[in-house]
Amino acid sequence: MYNKNMLKSLLQKEQIDALKSHNQEKLDFIRYILAQIKNDEIDKKGELTEDEVKVSLSKVMKQIEDGIEAAKKGGRSDLLTKYETQKKTLSSILK
């Protein structure tokens, strides 16, 4: 069966992989992304298309980039590392 929403399926697969590998940080981030998508689906009152999922993911990427800038300005290397890791994870999904 053809899956019309490949990104969402990929995120769900990544969630399972993170769970199996006990990567709690990645698991929490993937769950956050999926929750954002679900919130957008609730707002739309229906399932998101692939393009709408990409829009949701670009919003998350913007939040991460804003967080990186704020962490740099505030001298928070711990948060900077966290946001950069999240950015790498999301970038690998968006490829």
- What confidence tens digit (pLDDT) does each residue in 35-92 have? 999 999 999 999 999 999 999 999 999 999 999 999 999 999 999 999 999 999 999 9
Q: What is the pLDDT of residue 95?
A: 78
Q: What is the pLDDT of residue 5?
A: 79
Q: Is pLDDT at 16 greater than 80 in this prediction?
A: yes
Q: Is pLDDT at 1 greater than 60 in this prediction?
A: no
Which amino acid does the sequence have at 86? Q
pTM (2 d.p.):
0.86
